[in-house]
Amino acid sequence: MTLAWQSVDFPGGKVSYTSEMSFISESSQTRVPCYRVLEDDGDLISDCDFQQVSKEVAVKMYSNMVTLQIMDNIFYEAQRQGRISFYLTSAGEEAISIASAAALSEQDIILPQYREPGVLLWRGFTLQEFADQCFGNKADYGKGRQMPIHYGSKKHNFFTISSPIATQLPQAAGIAYSLKMDNKKACVVSYIGDGGTSEGDFHAGLNFAAVMEAPVIFFCRNNGWAISTNVSEQFRSDGIVVKGRAYGIRSIRVDGNDALAVYSAVSAAREMAINEQRPILIEALTYRVGHHSTSDDSTKYRQLDEIVYWKKARDPVNRFRNWVQNIGWWSEQQETQLRNSVRKQLLEAIQVAEKTEKPPLSELFTDVYDHPPSNLEEQEKHLRETVTIHPKDYPSDISV
């Protein structure tokens, strides 16, 4: 008697029976291919499937990528000079944040990790606003409470960055579900690094979004390293893209150093997320050219020639520049003017940020409780007394 026609009507759909004991393979024979549009030299791949981009958008994308690159270099040096306490660059990953932002609407809500300042840059966050946050002055929207690079902007629908890894993913699923309930024509985009997929919140966020059919794009930057932990020591699966199917989520793997490929993939993902009310998982293969942060020396755990290869042969900024220049949308003169202008603006912004007064001590104890509890009032009193007794141990420009 054959079992081929027999099945059980199990919750979630019918499941066929089989008399053959067969385990599902731990991996497929071939790896999931990586979608790309541009060759490493910036030439367009023939007969490729991609979203057309206008001259205006392409030039803005490239200009923002250059701006982000210069901003990273100058702020990194400022930290090394002791002018700010911490910094973290997007070196080698500029295409991811800029190109994905270009494919989104201003109404789409962003929950970042910490390597997405390009999204804010695209949406109009100024160099002065970046500088004010890094220097923690009175103009900083976080009132100096956060570490540098923990940006946030309600105006630009950009949730404030928080250091704990992957906590933003379940939040993104919930926010996306609220957009669904309100019939909004928008989606949520939550960014995460490959290391973050080892956190429980990654799995909780994806499962929640899938079950609730929430319009959210989970964008994973797989740059090969979770600080000093290589991806080979994080998981045995074929990267991140295959994890989506386990949760019933449509997924794609894209070349994260190809701005046109990222733009096209996110454009398509956004359309599906909103029109079909479903989550989408994007895995972008890229490489962290810089150190994890100013607290890290990546030459201690990876080969220098590996870094140099990705920096020179696979640089996303040079690749996209070659493309816009080859089609006549960019010139050497524009390049020189842009770089000189951005550098000048940024140095001026840093000078202003350094001279701007720090937030008063009282701001450390506000915006949580309507009426501060007694233990918090006691802490504030003790802090003021400590500053008064040891004034040399605290910045002189802080108002007590």
- Taking a C-beta distance cutoff of 8 angstroms, is the pair 240, 224 a contact? no
d(CA 149, CA 189): 19
Q: Which of 146, 172, 144, 179 is nearest to 158 (CA)?
A: 172
- Choosing from 63, 100, 292, 298, the catalytic residue is 292
The pair of three-digit structure tokens given for residue 188, joined into one six-digit string: 């949520």
Is 163 one of the annotated active-site residues of the chain? Answer: yes
Place of tokens 């008064």: 388
- Choosing from 7, 27, 39, 77, the catalytic residue is 77
- Choosing from 63, 190, 251, 293, the catalytic residue is 293
Is 293 one of the annotated active-site residues of the chain? Answer: yes
The angle, 0 to 180 degrees and rounded to 10, between the axes of the packed helices 94-102 and 316-326 is 50
**Helix, strand, coil in percent for the chain, rounding step 5:** 45, 10, 45
Is 203 one of the annotated active-site residues of the chain? Answer: no
- Choosing from 105, 163, 178, 341, the catalytic residue is 163
Reduced to 3 states, what is the DSSP secondary structure of residue 188? strand
Q: Report the half-sphere exposure of 307 (CA within 13 A, side-chain side).
A: 15
- State how far Cα 356 lies from the chain centre: 29
Question: According to DSSP H, which parts of 215-358 are helical?
Answer: 243-246, 259-275, 304-313, 316-326, 332-355
Catalytic residues: 77, 163, 292-293
